[in-house]
Chain A
Amino acid sequence: MKYGTMREDFVLQPVSGKALPVYRGETLRIIQEVGGQCVDFNCFNLYDYKEYMSVGHMRRQGIRVVKGDYVLSAPPRSNLMMWIAEMPETCITDLIGSRCSPDLFEATWGFDIHTNCQDTLAESIGEYGLSPDDTHDSFNMWMNTGWDDRGRWDIRRNTGLKGDYVDLTALMDVLAVPIVCGSGDVTGISNYSLRPLRIQVFEKSSETEAAAQEHLARFGNLKNQRSPKDYRIRGIKADRKLERDPDYEPQFVNYPLQFQEVEVELTPDDRRDVERMKARGKASDDEDAIRSGAFTWYTTFNSEPNPFSNKPIMGN
């Protein structure tokens, strides 16, 4: 895809970061200046910092997002923030490991002070008046983690090569925060060193604007992509202490939930299938068999692919 003119080009020395606006249709490029460096990334709505990237919801696309996936904001906003326009196979991504923090290095290796992503993100966003509490789980690029069946993780060798780059095209105006991960000299995450990254921003082009429109037309017009005007409580709480509002009445969705009984008359074939499901451990009783079978078919074959639940739910 053809981008517009480059309007930013600078190097992030180890260990530093930068918060910078990237406007809709523009592309942020993160380049391995030397190679082998893990990148942590945060992202905010440029006009409302309470809307920010949700790594947890990005994980629904897969725990390793790839070219073509999205940076998503947290519900109830659930907006497409950026699109991964380019990502080499050497960029292994991680959406589970979160960000390293100073307590980690103190508890694990006895450092009173060690470079870390929490502090680097906080110092970067401070330029826009945000506090350390506003950092959030990071989208990690060139972070080659492995996970076993018990959910335990290990760190594998960073596969990033000099000149590798990731392009993130903004689908809304964002404050993007790429940083050099600070853990790499005492962990293998950056092959036991800390290295610079180059950051570039390209202005929008007719192609990137058309692409943005296409993405937003597909996944940007849901009724349930809400904004503060839809909230019952719209203000941003200014004080830190939590106190109960005795007059507050929650309005839970579809509450109390209504139930309805539907009777079905089984043929001998149906009965055999119900018994087969129970025998295979797929249902606990007759009712469960019909309900689970019918809705497994429905969710498996009637689900639309989308970034909020990218893979159709497979039946069992």
Chain B
Amino acid sequence: MDNEPDVISIRLTQQQIEVLERLKGDGQLGSDYSEVLLNAFRKYSEHFLGKGRFGNVGRA
């Protein structure tokens, strides 16, 4: 069980998809919606979950 991929399906509105499309166009967070969404989440974690104190800075 531990080796199974930890996959989550996220339901997004077409307007949220439009945001991902723009971010994808910027090329900073990834080249597909999945990458962009997860990297935006990691940015949030860095800024709001105190990642620096736990040694995870710079992972995203």
Contacts and interface: CB of A to CB of B under 8 A. Distances in A.
- Physical interaction between A and B: yes
Interface of A: 254, 257-271, 273, 276-277, 286-287, 289-291, 293-298, 300-301, 315-316
Contacts, number: 112
Interface in B1-23: 5-17, 19-20, 23
A262 B37 contact: yes
B10 A263 contact: yes
A270 B12 contact: no
A257 B6 contact: no
Secondary structure of the A contact surface, majority rule: helix
A315 B37 CA distance: 16
Contacts of B15: 254, 257
Secondary structure of the B contact surface, majority rule: helix
Nearest to A316: B48
16 contacts: A254-B14, A254-B15, A257-B15, A262-B37, A263-B10, A264-B34, A264-B41, A265-B7, A270-B6, A289-B41, A290-B38, A290-B41, A294-B38, A294-B44, A297-B47, A316-B48
Nearest to B43: A297
A301 B37 CA distance: 15
Contacts of B41: 264, 270, 273, 289-290, 293-294, 297
A-B pairs with lowest CB-CB distance, top 10: A294-B40, A293-B44, A297-B44, A266-B6, A258-B14, A293-B41, A273-B45, A297-B43, A294-B41, A264-B38
B59 interface: yes
Contacts of B7: 263-266
B59 A291 contact: no
